Structure 1
Amino acid sequence: MEASVKIISFEDQYREDFGRLNFAWLEKYFYIEEYDKKVLGDPRTYILDPGGHIYLALIDGAVAGTVALIARGEDTFELSKMAVSEEYLGQRVGQKLMYACIHFAAELGSRRLFLDSNTILTPAITLYKKVGFKEIPVPKDSPYERCNIRMELML
C-alpha cells in the first residue's frame, strides 16, 4: 500500500534532514563536490534568499524526500537536490516533489525549468521524461562535475 505523502515548504527545523538525505544520495551514487557542501550546508543563503524554494516530502512526520528550485534568472529555475530516502523508494515521492516544483514555478510565471543529472540515474531520467523534460546540450559551466545530461521543461 502506498503511503500518504505530504509535501511541505522548507522550514529551518528540516535543515539537517535536507542535508542528510542529499549527502546520502550523493555518497551512494557519486561523491560530494565542493558546490554540494556549500549549498547543502547553507540552503537559506544559496537557495532560499536568492528567490529559490525547497520542498520536503513527509510520510508519517518523517522526511522522505527533498527537492530544491534554485533561481537562475528572471524566468528560470534549476531543479536540484532531489533525494528520496531509501526506505521510501517506489512510493512516488520523487514524482510528487516534481509536480510540486512544476506547479510552484508555473504559479510564479516562470517559463523554464532545467536540471543537471547523470545518465546512470535511470529512474530519475525516466521520471523527468515522463513529466515532459527534454534533453538539451550540457553547458561547460555546469557547477556539477558529475553532470553528463541537462534537461529542460518549458512551462
Structure 2
Amino acid sequence: MQIVAYDKQYAKAFELLNLEWLETYFYVEDYDREVLSKAEQYIIRPGGHIFFAVESGVVMGCVALLRIEDDLFELTKMAVSPAARGKGIGQKLMQHCIAFARSQNWKGLLLYSNRILENAIHIYRKYGFEEIPVEPDSPYERSNIKMYLPLN
C-alpha cells in the first residue's frame, strides 16, 4: 500500500468512500454532499490537499487537509473502505498528514468529530490532538468535539 497525493482519477473514490462512511455512522449533510462532489473546487484549489491509500490501483482510504489559514489546516473527510477497515489504514493516513503538515511548517491541525466515535477520539489523542471548544457556528451539525494538534 502506498499513500499518494490527489489525482483526478481518484475523485469519485473520495466522494463514495466518504458518503458510505457518513451513511453508516451518521447522515450526509448538505455541506458534505457539496464538498465531496466538488473536492477539487472546495479543497484542492483553495490550497488544501487530499491523500489516498492505494493498493494495486484500488483506493483503500482517503483523507483531506482543508486550508483554514496559511499554516492551519483541518484534517477532514477521512474514510476507509469497509473491506480494508482494521488494517491500520486510517492511522497510516493520519501519520502521513501529520508528517506532511510538519514538513510544511504549519502551526497546527484541527479536526471535528463526534464523541460516539470513541476509537477515533482515542487515536486522535494518541497522536497528540487536544480537545478545544467547538464554535457555535461549526460547519458540521454532527460534530460535538473539536480537537487541535499544535505542530511547532
RMSD over equivalenced CA pairs, Å: 0.8
What CA distance in whole angstroms lies between the structure 2 residues aligned with 1:64 and 1:127?
Answer: 19
2:54 corresponds, among 47, 51, 58, to 58
Q: TM-score, normalised by structure 1?
A: 0.95
Structure 1 equivalent of residue 89 of structure 2: 93
Q: How many residues matched?
A: 151
What CA distance in whole angstroms lies between the structure 2 residues aligned with 1:23 and 1:113?
Answer: 23
1:20 aligns with 2:46: no
Gaps of at least 5 residues in structure 1 are: none
Post-superposition, which runs of at least 4 consecutive aligned residues in structure 1 deviate over 3 A? none
Aligned counterparts, 1:75-90, within 5 A: 75-90=71-86
What CA distance in whole angstroms lies between the structure 2 residues aligned with 1:63 and 1:120?
Answer: 26
Q: TM-score, normalised by structure 2?
A: 0.97
Identity of aligned residues (%): 51
1:49 aligns with 2:45: yes
Deviation at 1:38, TM superposition (A): 1.1
Deviation readout 1:7-51 (Å, 9 max, x if unpaired): 111100001100000000000011110110111001111000000
Gaps of at least 5 residues in structure 2 are: none
Deviation readout 1:38-73 (Å, 9 max, x if unpaired): 110011110000000000001232111010000001
